[in-house]
Amino acid sequence: MKEYVLGIDLGTSAVKVSAVDRTGHIAAQESYDYPLSQPQPGYSEQNPDEWVNGTAVAIVRLILNHHIRPAEIAGISYSGQMHGLVLLDAQHKVLRPAMLWNDTRTTAQCQEIEAKLGDRFIEITGNRPLEGFTLPKILWVKENEPDIWAKAATFLLPKDYVRYRMTGKLAIDYSDATGTVMLDIKQGAWSQEILDAFDIPASMCPLLINSVTEVGPISETFAIFSGLHQSTRVFGGAADNAAAALGAGIIAPNMVLCSIGTSGVILKHEASADTAYHGVLQMEDHAVTGQSYSMGVTLAAGYSLSWYKRTFAAHEDFTHLVNEAAQSTIGANGLLFTPYIMGERTPYADANIRGSFIGIDGTHQRPDFTRAVLEGIIFSFRDLLDIYDAQHQTYDTIVSVGGGAKSPLWLQIQADVFNTPVVRLENEQGPGMGAAMLAAVGLGWFASFADCAKAFVHYGQTYQPNVANAQRYAALHQIYHQVYGQTKELSRQLLEYRTNLSSNLMNPNQKTKVKQL
């Protein structure tokens, strides 16, 4: 009989379920979209039951449309959007819509954490308190919705809620727990010091498990709902970045993941959780038990290119637009672009900084601007790799995934800017493949993740850095690296001008500071 594992990838806009066989071949995939609610600026919420319903529908479609028999589905595991807060009452009922990773209403709570614990917070969690993390969301509910807080008995993260609804078991895996910034990353336990500092009952924190821990079988209720057999074994799962790293084979300290989606991520496997980046980079537990990874985020990586196309080439083919950058030269004929169009996270935690084109003159053509955007995004990643270099962290392979892996030109730019070989995946499936690998190892199909990766992860072409090009890019990056410091005050003033202007237009009789700028 054939056997499959299901990798359930719970994203922000949709859930995707992949059926993978013992050879790593994806036999079938189905997905289901669900809505995102943004009731106020900075708010981003979803109904957790939409995730459960969407997952069930995708599984039903998988069984019916692809003729996969429920008895053939041996195991299931998960990848999930990180940091989202699902609050449950004592009967494990959802108390309010889930606050998602991109919900930014919690600036005051982040400041509160900084003021109360300062550097000690970074020592415990390996991270700075940022708006996207779970703890600031918990504090926001506590301070702004006391009636809901009074009923709150426990919390889960998104994929953990789906797993609870599928099995009836409450738990959170270590990779997602580190993203709550309530975990003592060195002790591998919820931090009593943090809980006491903010008067959060320890009883609210769910059981901690490893990503390959078997949680239990499918419950009778969900089996009826989805068509699955109750004999199907369910494993803990991982945060989406940890699962993506696993799905790209990032399981050794010499490997780095470069991911270009709407945002961009540089993620490095860490030999030890003791590496100190002082909160500039995020430190997280890996899906591989006992291992860690660090990561830095460029907020508007792929989004910068999407904005550029939408604004200046809305009706043109995306591939053609990217390829025309080859008509320009290294350094875009003296033109630089900084991708700070949504603010920035790493290495500059600055919501006010804005993007810029630097060096424009009358000779520049559109291919120069296109190449400057491509190069600027990769220069922002070079800033992240510089942090590793300063810590004497070594790596010899960079795996490129997402939008940056779809263009040979852009892949070569990455190799030259990083001055490191860059390889793409032949079978890129993102976090869903990592989720499937967790189930495969949990079932005992493979003795280790290294063995599983040999079967499930397939690398394609490797792009070697050109020595001359790497030297030119190194000199250009030294110029690029200065732009943030030179423009941050200008960005602040322009943002203040824009805010005051908007206020003045809405209240024409109200005096503002616009004329003073």
pLDDT in tens, 166-203: 999 999 999 999 999 999 998 999 999 999 999 999 99
What integer is the mean pLDDT of 348-363? Answer: 90
The pLDDT tens digits of the residues spanning 216-230 come to 899 999 999 999 999
Degrees, nearest 5: CA angle 158-160-164: 120
Residue that wins the pLDDT comparison between 501 and 505: 501
pLDDT at 513: 45
350 is catalytic: no
pLDDT at 384: 94
The pair phi, psi for residue 63, each rounded to 5°, is -70, -45
The pLDDT tens digits of the residues spanning 412-439 come to 999 999 999 999 998 888 899 999 999 9
Q: Of 77, 116, 366, 98, which Cα lies nearest the Cα of 214?
A: 77
Pick from 136-150, 257-271, 354-368: least confident: 257-271
Whether the predicted pLDDT of 508 surpasses 60: no
Distances (CA, A) of 418 to 17, 473, 477: 34, 9, 10
Cβ neighbours of residue 387 closer than 8 Å, sequence gap 6 or more: 277, 280, 281, 296, 347
Binding site for substrate: what residues are annotated? 82-83
Binding site: what residues are annotated? 82-83
pLDDT at 510: 52
pLDDT band with cut points at 50, 70 and 90 for residue 514: very low
Give CA–CA dist 395/465, Å, rounded.
14
pLDDT at 405: 87
Cβ neighbours of residue 187 closer than 8 Å, sequence gap 6 or more: none
Whether the predicted pLDDT of 360 surpasses 70: yes
Measure the CA dihedral 4/443/213/72, to 10°. 30
What integer is the mean pLDDT of 353-364? Answer: 94
Sequence-ordered strand ranges (E) for 69-213: 73-80, 86-88, 98-99, 154-156, 172-173, 183-184, 189-190, 208-209
Q: Which residue has the tokens 């790497």?
A: 470
Contact yes or no for 293/267 (Cβ under 8 A): yes
- Domains, the chain: 4-241 (3.30.420.40), 251-427+466-486 (3.30.420.40)
The pair phi, psi for residue 485, each rounded to 5°, is -60, -35
Whether the predicted pLDDT of 376 surpasses 80: yes
pLDDT at 289: 87
Q: Please list the alpha-helical segments (H only) found in 315-430.
A: 318-323, 366-390, 408-418
Pick from 6-10, 276-280, 332-336, 353-357: least confident: 276-280
pLDDT band with cut points at 50, 70 and 90 for residue 61: very high
3-state SS string over 18-64?
Answer: EEECCCCCEEEEEEEECCCECCCCCCCEECHHHHHHHHHHHHHHHHH
Cβ neighbours of residue 248 closer than 8 Å, sequence gap 6 or more: 257, 399, 401, 425, 428, 434, 457
Burial class (CB in 10 A: 0-12, 13-18, 19+), 107: middle
Cβ neighbours of residue 467 closer than 8 Å, sequence gap 6 or more: none
Whether the predicted pLDDT of 290 surpasses 90: no
Catalytic pick from 240, 285, 368, 383? 240
The pLDDT tens digits of the residues spanning 231-249 come to 999 999 999 989 999 999 9
The one-letter amino acid at 211? S
Whether the predicted pLDDT of 512 surpasses 60: no
Q: The tokens of 46 are what?
A: 């979803």
pTM for the full model? 0.87
Pick from 41-50, 72-81, 109-118, 377-386: least confident: 41-50
Whether the predicted pLDDT of 12 surpasses 90: no
